[in-house]
Amino acid sequence: MEKLEKTDKADEGLVPVLPGVPVAPYVSGGVEAFPEKVRSAFPESGGGRFTYRGPLLPILRLMGHKRPGANHYTKLVTSLMCLAHGTIELVVRERGEETFYDLTHVISNLRLRTRDREISVTISPFFREMYVANRLTWIDVAKRFQIRGSIAKALYRFCQSHRQNPVFRGYVQTLAQALNMDRSAPLKETRRQMREAIAELVEKKVLEKTSILTKGNIVILNRTAEALPPRRRKE
């Protein structure tokens, strides 16, 4: 414990971080993981690794816990384990045909010395590459965890693949095919599932309340300002 108490600075032992990257906690299922500052670390060497190695206390202080207790340590370790088991799947389709597929872990290595409360966390360089290239944002991941329905998740992925278009308008069956919904299902069932998916994304503030499925089977999706890329928000 003496070693932990000597750590007065919140960023002591941290690898330098990318400039301009916003600091925001990630919450999934009530479990808050370490912030952007820690995730977006520079390589500690020329070997292409992205690692934080040191005590858990600085991470907890970055998360806002000035005097963390045992429960905070447990919660942090649980969060890191969830991220270590988690994968990010990126699929790009054009006209219903898959043109790109990428599957990567968020954390490629996690080591913990329970007695000393020290940790070594290595971020997957492939995940970091996706993040820095704006092919994936952490808010995407956090939002995906909040969405319950499978069709709603597919619709969210569709919205994110059309990031530059704040409004989508199209025939429900065409959209259903893009979402890989059951093509043999009756139109009535497809409409029901689509309405439920739209309602959930409205609830999660991904879509505006004006997003609807019309009686003429036309889907209109209006994305919220917070769901648009930063460049579009300023405009």
- pLDDT tens digits for range 35-69: 444 443 333 333 445 788 888 888 888 878 888 88
**Per mean pLDDT, which range of 27-41, 108-122, 150-164, 193-207 is the poorest?**
27-41
Distance (Å, whole) CA 42 – CA 32: 22
For residue 5, what pLDDT is reported? 31
Is the model more confident about 16 or about 120? 120
pTM confidence score:
0.43
Q: List domains and CATH numbers for the chain.
A: 2-135 (1.10.10), 147-234 (1.10.10)
For residue 49, what pLDDT is reported? 54
Q: Mean pLDDT score of the chain, rounded to an integer?
A: 71
Pairing of strands 118-123, 212-213: unpaired
pLDDT at 214 over 90: yes
Write out pLDDT tens, residues 154-172.
888 788 776 667 788 899 9
Residues 6 or more apart whose Cβ sits within 8 Å of residue 164 = 229, 232
